[in-house]
Structures are given as structure tokens and as C-alpha cells.
């Protein structure tokens, strides 16, 4: 089991097993087996809403015990919390699948991560360059002479 903390300071534990896979299929409409056989990992990297839906379905027993709704959970999922949730999910998926499927899964995850980084780099390259002083500091005003 792997944990992450949301922006509200709540700690969530993820565990991937067959019952959890069924719950994710039922609640999020996502088949986690597609992480090995399809492009699920790339979709999770690209879509924070999908990632949050999957993670919430995995954490649903804890959410029910804490009386945290899907909406409240989603409100506390941003920034580093999303990154931590993704990392916890990655570790859980790698641990769930049998050894003969781990290497292909790890390769898919790595490939999807590299593609996501490439898309980010390309998007940054298309941004207009900032002109002037990028530190945000403006030049000091010229000294004024008395009476001038």
C-alpha cells in the first residue's frame, strides 16, 4: 500500500487488488488492466480529472469512513497532491501485476512520461519570449536634481 496527502492535509492509502480493480471499473469506468494493454497511463498523465476519478475509486473505502465526498476529494487534489497520487498509483500498479507484465508496464509508463515531458517542452518552445528584465525589477529611476 502506498499513501499520498491531499491539499487538505488528509492522508490517503491506495491498494490495488482485484476488488479495487472492480471498484474502479464500476465507479470510474476505467479498466486498470489497460495500463498494461493500452494507453491508460498516458491518459492518466494527460487528464488530472481522470486521474482523480481513478484515485478516488481506489480510496473510496477510506473516503466513506472519513465521510469525504467525491467533490470534496476533488477540491483537495491539485499540485503536488496530484503528483503524489500518481506516484502512489504507479507503485501500486507495478506491484499488482505479475512479474512477466511488470517490465512491459514499466516501459509503457516510462514512454508515456517521456512523451508528456516532450509535449511540455514543445509547448514552452511556442510561448513568446519575455522582453526586458525577466526578474520583474524595473530600472531604478534617474536621480533627480534639486529644483529640476
pLDDT (tens digit per residue) in 69-81: 999 999 999 999 9
Confidence of residue 145 (pLDDT cuts 50, 70, 90): very low
Question: 60: how many CB neighbours lie within 10 A of its CB?
Answer: 19
Note the pLDDT tens digit of each residue in 89-128: 999 999 999 989 888 888 888 888 888 888 888 888 888 8
Note the pLDDT tens digit of each residue in 26-56: 999 999 999 888 899 999 999 999 999 999 9
Q: How many CA atoms lie within 13 A of 106 on its CB side?
A: 10
Contact 30, 40 (CB under 8 A): yes
Helix (H) or strand (E) holding 108: helix 99-126
Instruction: Give CA separation, 130 vs 62, 83, 90, 120, 136, in Å.
Output: 46, 29, 37, 18, 11
> Averaged over 5-30, what is the pLDDT?
97
What was the pLDDT predicted at 112? 83
Residue 101 corresponds to which cell in the numbers above?
507484465
DSSP helix/strand/coil, 68? coil
Instruction: Give CA separation, 96 vs 100, 104, 122, in Å.
Output: 11, 13, 34
Amino acid at each position: 500500500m502506498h499513501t499520498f496527502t491531499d491539499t487538505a492535509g488528509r492522508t490517503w492509502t491506495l491498494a490495488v487488488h482485484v476488488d479495487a480493480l472492480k471498484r474502479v471499473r464500476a465507479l470510474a469506468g476505467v479498466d486498470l488492466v489497460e495500463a498494461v494493454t493500452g494507453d491508460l497511463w498516458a491518459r492518466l498523465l494527460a487528464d488530472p480529472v481522470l486521474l482523480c476519478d481513478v484515485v478516488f475509486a481506489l480510496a473510496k473505502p477510506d473516503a466513506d469512513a472519513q465521510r469525504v465526498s467525491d467533490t470534496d476529494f476533488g477540491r483537495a487534489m491539485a499540485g503536488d497532491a496530484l503528483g503524489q497520487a500518481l506516484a502512489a498509483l504507479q507503485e501500486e500498479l507495478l506491484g499488482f501485476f505479475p512479474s512477466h507484465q511488470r517490465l512491459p508496464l514499466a516501459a509503457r509508463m516510462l514512454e508515456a512520461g517521456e512523451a508528456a515531458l516532450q509535449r511540455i517542452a514543445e509547448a514552452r518552445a511556442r510561448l513568446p519570449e519575455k522582453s526586458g528584465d525577466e526578474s520583474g525589477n524595473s530600472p531604478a529611476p534617474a536621480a533627480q536634481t534639486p529644483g529640476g
